[in-house]
Amino acid sequence: MDNHQERQFVEGLRAGKTEAWQALYDAYALRVWQSVARLMGSDASGVADVVQETLMAAARSAGSYDPARGPVWVWLSGIARHHVALHCRRQQRHDRIRQNVEALAAGPNRHRILRWLENKEDDPAEALATAELGSLVRATLTKLPDEYQSLLAAKYLDGVSVEQIARGDRSTSTAVRSKLARARRAFRRAFEKDPGDS
């Protein structure tokens, strides 16, 4: 692409024209893919995700492109590097949680929480206080629907009473207790699965 074509193409992106998005993809997708793959190695699905994130971010932020700072490729490669770094940080965080989950999979605290979920033991507050178990609980919560995540976190992590939750939801204590029972069952099912499952 020469300078004139690049300017037209960026103006089209700024105006939200579909053909400009297609032109971006046609002109740069392979080059972005190759650049990202060099940085990330053989993780094909990760590369595909980062390439898609890069091209979508470029389309969203076309207004920030300044031709005086270099050609479109310089701008795009900067966006790609940023998204590779974000992907690597997410992967490292995921790996740390997975390691904690695997280390705790057979631990005694896991059984205390399962007994608590069956209403056979009081709230295992001291068990929940350990950093490793906190990682396991957070990892399990992320597998639940948002309403269950919020309810369980409010009741058992933040110490909000059933009555306070009911007032905040403009509901009854009975309805909240019923929903808590369903949320605990969903948590138990997710918690009992192989910790490595996503």
Better-predicted residue by pLDDT, 64 or 181: 181
What is the distance between the alpha carbons of residues 132 and 116, in angstroms, rounded to a whole number? Answer: 18
What is the distance between the alpha carbons of residues 139 and 101, in angstroms, rounded to a whole number? Answer: 8
Q: Which residues contact 101 (CB under 8 A, 6 or more apart)?
A: 135, 136, 139, 195, 196
What would the mean pLDDT of 85-95 be, rounded to a whole number?
A: 79
What is the distance between the alpha carbons of residues 169 and 174, in angstroms, rounded to a whole number? Answer: 12
Query: Which tokens belong to 141?
Result: 């919560």
Better-predicted residue by pLDDT, 165 or 105: 165
What would the mean pLDDT of 22-34 be, rounded to a whole number?
A: 89
Look at residue 197 in the predicted model and tell me its pLDDT. Answer: 47
Say if pTM beats, i.e. exceeds, 0.85: no
Better-predicted residue by pLDDT, 175 or 153: 175
Task: Delimit the CATH 1.10.1740.10 region(s) of the chain.
Answer: 3-100
What would the mean pLDDT of 18-34 be, rounded to a whole number?
A: 87
What is the distance between the alpha carbons of residues 38 and 82, in angstroms, rounded to a whole number? Answer: 14
CATH number, span 3-100: 1.10.1740.10
What would the mean pLDDT of 126-140 be, rounded to a whole number?
A: 62
What would the mean pLDDT of 145-167 be, rounded to a whole number?
A: 85
CA 19 to chain centre: 31
What is the distance between the alpha carbons of residues 104 and 110, in angstroms, rounded to a whole number? Answer: 7
Sign of the CA dihedral running 57, 62, 63, 67: positive
C-beta atoms surrounding 119 within 10 Å? 9
**Based on C-alpha coordinates, what's the Rg of the chain?**
24
Q: Which residues contact 184 (CB under 8 A, 6 or more apart)?
A: 117, 152
Sign of the CA dihedral running 102, 104, 110, 111: positive
Is residue 3 pLDDT above 90, yes or no? no
Is residue 153 pLDDT above 70, yes or no? yes
What would the mean pLDDT of 159-179 be, rounded to a whole number?
A: 89
pLDDT band at 196 (very low <50, low <70, confident <90, very high): very low
Domain 108-192 architecture: Orthogonal Bundle (1.10)
Nearest CA-CA partner of 33 in 19, 52, 17, 16: 52
